[in-house]
Amino acid sequence: MTESTERNVSLALDILHQRFGDRFLTGHSIREQHGHTTTYLKNQPPDAVVMAQSAEDVTWVVQVCAEHRCPVIAFGAGSSLEGQLNAPAGGVSIDMSAMDKILKVDQNDLTVTVQPGVKRVALNEHLRDTGLFFPIDPGADASMGGMASTRASGTNAVRYGTMKDNVLSLKAVMADGREITTASRAKKTSAGYDMTRLLVGAEGTLGVITELTLKLHGLPESIVGGVCNFPDIESVCQATIQTIQYGLPIARIEMLDEVQVRACNAYSKLSLAEKPTLFVEFHGSEASTQEQSETFNEIIQEFGGSDFEWTSNTEERTKLWQARHDAYWAARALRPGCDAVVTDACVPISRLADCVEETLKDIQEHNLLAPIVGHVGDGNFHTAVLIDMDNPDAVNTAKQFAERLSLRAIAMGGTCTGEHGIGQGKKSYLRQELGDTVDFMSMIKSSLDPLNIMNPEKIF
Amino acid sequence: MTESTERNVSLALDILHQRFGDRFLTGHSIREQHGHTTTYLKNQPPDAVVMAQSAEDVTWVVQVCAEHRCPVIAFGAGSSLEGQLNAPAGGVSIDMSAMDKILKVDQNDLTVTVQPGVKRVALNEHLRDTGLFFPIDPGADASMGGMASTRASGTNAVRYGTMKDNVLSLKAVMADGREITTASRAKKTSAGYDMTRLLVGAEGTLGVITELTLKLHGLPESIVGGVCNFPDIESVCQATIQTIQYGLPIARIEMLDEVQVRACNAYSKLSLAEKPTLFVEFHGSEASTQEQSETFNEIIQEFGGSDFEWTSNTEERTKLWQARHDAYWAARALRPGCDAVVTDACVPISRLADCVEETLKDIQEHNLLAPIVGHVGDGNFHTAVLIDMDNPDAVNTAKQFAERLSLRAIAMGGTCTGEHGIGQGKKSYLRQELGDTVDFMSMIKSSLDPLNIMNPEKIF
């Protein structure tokens, strides 16, 4: 193949159309659905969507796109929050949702090998009878490929880590069309550069993930969950800080501010006191969860925590955590017809109270409706500013608020994003956070994708 | 500065000599000591050694070396095992041992910030009164910079992870002389490529680490250790596999084969039965360690484990683990005057018994003296083939054995190195393990170090 020197998207599209037939789609609504759909960022649809069924399909698409310098954007479940799926330079969206096979559960090695379109709920349903589970649980029912690409985490990360810690090895089609395997299946390795961790969090800018081998964890013998509330936001943060500093191996510790509790009560039919609240969960043996919950109870007493209700009843726990996962929808329901400008920041745990309190003050000063909810054990929290997206002033106000939050987290030694990624929305903050380091990231991008076809205009 | 197109090492040396005066050393023995000194690999000394005292010194050296294309090799404690410190293309060794300050212990965030020359024993002594510790413990008293660079681990990795998991953020001087910070101090981040994990394990080929922020862990309330032996090597491996698959949060599980037990008895004045043996340790609350040790006891009964001796006595535990850390020296003392060809492989835990048994058969068939010792909870083990280094046939036999072990591990879905790195010794196996993936590693190397001055001829 000779190489063209300019993007020739339409030629690439013709070739792909011929190859994929009715798996090559250009309808307006399907293209829109494959651009960004979740937040305030403008939808920028790709020129076409290819429904992939195999790694060979992906290789084929990337090779054609490399030949004609056509952008390639992998699509999983469409739940990313920073514009990762938009196509500002046009090009092809490769929809991985049909690549949803669970290829091998290896109970002896506590691993599972999956195609990238497998979603987290389906994976754990499949694992149910094995006594194992996969702990990473972003709010949405995201795909494994997408979760790896944004370095996702969720409520269990405080104990089980993020995608960075739970991907053992990947297969990916790189920009030249070659499929590579990033690592062996050994639990530890010192064999060369950590290509697994480089692709995890690369947001599709270096390659398209075509297979993942993930670490699994044993379902705990005992799971105990509970809810408690606090007189104010500082107390809830301080109780969290103390829990982490104590070294309690808590499995989940989620904060909801008063507004978010009100939203969840209404949306998920709960009847929690409308106060700053923690949802917590302990995993271990019966004796260990008992011990952990007693220690936690002692800690929260110091900070005025009250109404502590425990349960090991599965149904009650499920209802609680479903409410937590629906927090985003509950927030939106607070102002019907509104949209949400969602943002995410993460600070060292010692600065959690400072960062949340200043953010709350900011919300009040600017008269915003913006519930706060967070994976506070990791120093990570989210806000959803509820606005009318047709009102440019409101959008602007919300964006300025998100910017102040990013810069506040950075100034406290934290990051502008704990788990959503940079995408289009946070490019300028990345530079503020890491300075010249971004130049070296950019050199890696240029060397592995010299034609800039892999999800261009993201991160950088 | 204008850029020369060829290496001009001697000009670089003159400039560095002028700048660093008596911190610029060229004596034969000091140069030899800064090359590879630990295994069969030939010593290839650098042309000079600079004793760095600050990141500014490192920046200065790298800038001069970049100008004149002079190789730069960072030196920590000299304990690497695959030739990482050799200077096959000459150049300057930057000795980081005087950069040994512990800059900040942050008890609130469970982190410590250190210079790269800080060694692991000194770090934990410094931390003693804080109730915190740093878990990574390779056999040698290695430096933090070196441990990060080889992605080191050790006996605690089965519970606490490796350097990959315990480095929060790094500062490094890159090949163009700029010092970067790889990440914020937040526990989680999705902000761009994972430059921390890229530098961890890069063996100094991308930059010189000048500062590390490390994760600390709370000293467990209760530590219980023990020793047990088994009728044969298969039983010890199967008991280990069962322990891991059960999900027991064991802190250490180390295997010693009969020969290694004999060596340790002699060297460390122990009186263990000369049988395949496990050294184990449990961390947790009193109730939890009790529970763990009981469960473990039940597991080993199934595999004929016996003579199980427990202790929570600190002195006895320390003696045991000191013996484990001295295993290398104990092995060498088995054949006085000999040297050791050390190698390290790691396989998925389900293949541990197969890999160890085949390796033992190989040792017997080739009539080698080669104790086996391993971090078996991770599927990782080492052999030290004891030979007379002046006998080329013996060296060849040992190297062929090491090669067979690497290929055996790779064939079982594992890696040719779990924790020692590639260096000079395992370059050919890296390609066998990861195929084309090595091309992409190599592209990263070329893009971040276009003049190939950072520890050249290593990994690739």
**Tens digit of each residue's pLDDT (9 = 90 or more) over A9-49:** 999 999 999 999 999 999 999 999 999 998 889 999 999 99
Cα distance between residue B400 and residue B154, in whole Å: 25
In a domain, B456, yes or no: no
Give all strands of the β-sheet with A372-375 in edge-to-edge order: A306-311, A222-229, A277-284, A252-256, A372-375, A380-387, A339-346
Asked whether the predicted pLDDT for residue A334 surpasses 90, the reply is yes
Q: Contact, A226 vs A310, CB < 8 A?
A: yes
Domain boundary among A328, A343, A363: A328
Residue B5 has pLDDT above 90, yes or no: no
Same domain, yes or no, for A210 and A231?
A: no
Cβ neighbors of B6 (< 8 A, separation 6 or more) are: B69
Measured distance CA(A415)–CA(A426) in Å, rounded: 11
Same domain? A114 vs A204: yes
pLDDT band at A421 (very low <50, low <70, confident <90, very high): very high
- Name the residue facing A417 among B189, B218, B410 (closest C-beta): B189
Segment A111-115 shows an average pLDDT of 98
In a domain, residue A128? The reply is yes
pLDDT at B114: 98
pLDDT tens per residue, range A117-168:
999 999 999 999 999 999 999 989 999 999 999 999 999 999 999 999 999 9
Q: Is some CB atom of chain A closer than 8 A to the CB atom of B218? A: yes
* Residue A188 lies inside a defined structural domain of this protein: yes
Residue from B149, B188, B291 whose CB has the most chain A CBs within 10 Å, to mutate? B188
- The CATH number covering residue A373 comes to 3.30.70.2740
Question: Do both A92 and A134 map to the same domain?
Answer: no
Q: How many CB atoms lie within 10 A of CB A103?
A: 12
Q: Chain B: nearest CA to A436, how far in angstroms?
A: 6
Instruction: Kindly report the CATH number assigned to the domain that includes residue B295.
Output: 3.30.70.3450
Query: Which segments of B186-337 does DSSP mark as H helices, in order?
Result: 195-199, 233-246, 258-268, 286-302, 314-325, 327-333
Exposed/middle/buried for residue B336 (C-beta within 10 Å: 0-12, 13-18, 19+): exposed
Per the structure, the count of domains in chain B is 4
pLDDT tens-digit profile of B364-423?
999 999 999 999 999 999 999 999 989 999 999 999 999 999 999 999 999 999 999 999
Please report, for the domain that includes residue A148, its CATH number. 3.30.465.10
Taking CB atoms and an 8 Å limit, are A190 and B150 in contact across chains?
A: yes
Query: Radius of gyration over alpha carbons of chain A, in Å?
Result: 22
Calculate the average pLDDT of chain A: 95
**Better-scored residue on pLDDT, A166 or B246:** A166
In the structure, what pLDDT confidence band is assigned to residue A2 with cuts at 50, 70 and 90? very low
Instruction: Give the up-direction half-sphere exposure of residue B174: CA atoms within 13 A in the CB hemisphere.
Output: 25
Is B443 domain-assigned? no
Mean pLDDT of B437-441: 98
Interface of B with A in 327-386 (CB under 8 A): 346-350, 375, 378-380
- The verdict on a CB contact (< 8 Å) between A441 and B153 is no
The CATH number linked to A245 is 3.30.70.2190
Domain that holds residue B36: 9-97
The residue among A55, A70, A97 that closes a domain is A97
**What is the C-alpha separation between B40 and B340, in angstroms, rounded?**
7
Which residues on chain B are in Cβ contact (under 8 Å) with A216?
none
**Domain co-membership, B233 together with B293:** yes
pLDDT confidence of B3, banded at 50, 70, 90?
A: very low
B83 touches chain A (CB under 8 A): no
Residue B39: what pLDDT?
A: 86
Q: Does residue B305 share a domain with residue B236?
A: yes
Among candidates A190, A349, A379 on the partner chain, residue whose Cβ is nearest the Cβ of B417: A190
Using 50, 70 and 90 to split pLDDT, how confident is the model at A313?
confident
The CATH number for B52's domain is 3.30.43.10
Q: Which strands, in side-by-side order, build the sheet including B207-215?
A: B102-106, B111-114, B207-215, B167-174, B179-181
For helices B9-20 and B55-67, the axis angle rounded to 10 degrees is: 150
pLDDT of residue A39: 86
**What string of DSSP letters covers B311-361?**
E--HHHHHHHHHHHHTHHHHHHHTSTT-EEEEEEEE--GGGHHHHHHHHHH
Does the CB of A454 have a partner CB in chain B at under 8 Å? no
Find out whether B387 and B398 touch, Cβ atoms under 8 Å: yes
**Do B136 and B205 share a domain, yes or no?**
yes
- What is the reported pLDDT for A359? 98
With a cut of 70, say whether residue B90 has pLDDT above it.
Answer: yes
Please report the pLDDT score of residue A5 as a whole number: 57
SS3 B197: helix
Verify that A184 and A269 share a domain, yes or no.
no
Are B175 and B206 a contacting pair, CB within 8 Å?
A: yes
| B305 and B232 together in one domain | yes
Q: What is the largest CA-CA distance in chain A?
A: 71
| Non-local CB neighbours of A228 within 8 Å, separated by 6+ positions | A277, A278, A280, A300, A305, A306, A307, A308, A309
Tens-place pLDDT, residues A254-312: 999 999 999 999 999 999 999 999 999 999 989 899 999 999 999 999 999 987 778 88
Kindly report the nearest CA distance between residue B17 and chain A, in angstroms: 30
pLDDT for B2 beyond 50:
no
Structure ipTM: 0.96
- pLDDT of the residue at B21: 98
Does the CB of B414 have a partner CB in chain A at under 8 Å?
yes
Q: What is the C-alpha to C-alpha distance for residues B226 and B236, in angstroms, rounded to an integer? A: 14
Determine whether the interchain pair A202/B193 forms a contact, defined as Cβ–Cβ distance below 8 Å: yes
8 Å CB contact of A184 and B413 = yes
User: Can you give the pTM of this predicted structure?
Assistant: 0.97
Residue B143 has what DSSP assignment? B
| pLDDT over 70 (residue A4) | no
Question: Which of A218, A250, A274 lies at the terminal end of a domain, its last residue?
Answer: A218
- In DSSP terms, B169 is beta-bridged to B213
Instruction: Tell me what pLDDT residue A311 has.
Output: 82
Q: Are residues A111 and A204 in the same domain?
A: yes
Q: How far apart are the first and last CA of chain A?
A: 30
Select from A66, A289, A322 the least CA-distant residue to A173: A66
Q: Are residues B81 and B114 in the same domain?
A: no
**pLDDT at A1 exceeding the cut of 70:** no
CA dist A194 and A177 (Å) reads: 20
Measured between CB atoms, does A298 come within 8 Å of chain B? Answer: no
Residues B76 and B115 in one domain: no
- Residue A237 sits in the same domain as residue A318: yes
Decide if B202 is inside a domain: yes
Q: Do the Cβ atoms of A194 and B151 come within 8 Å? A: yes
Instruction: Give the pLDDT band of residue A3 (cuts 50, 70, 90).
Output: very low
**What confidence tens digit (pLDDT) does each residue in B110-145 have?**
999 999 999 999 999 999 999 999 999 998 999 999
Q: pLDDT band at residue B312, thresholds of 50, 70 and 90?
A: confident
For residue A343, is pLDDT > 90?
A: yes
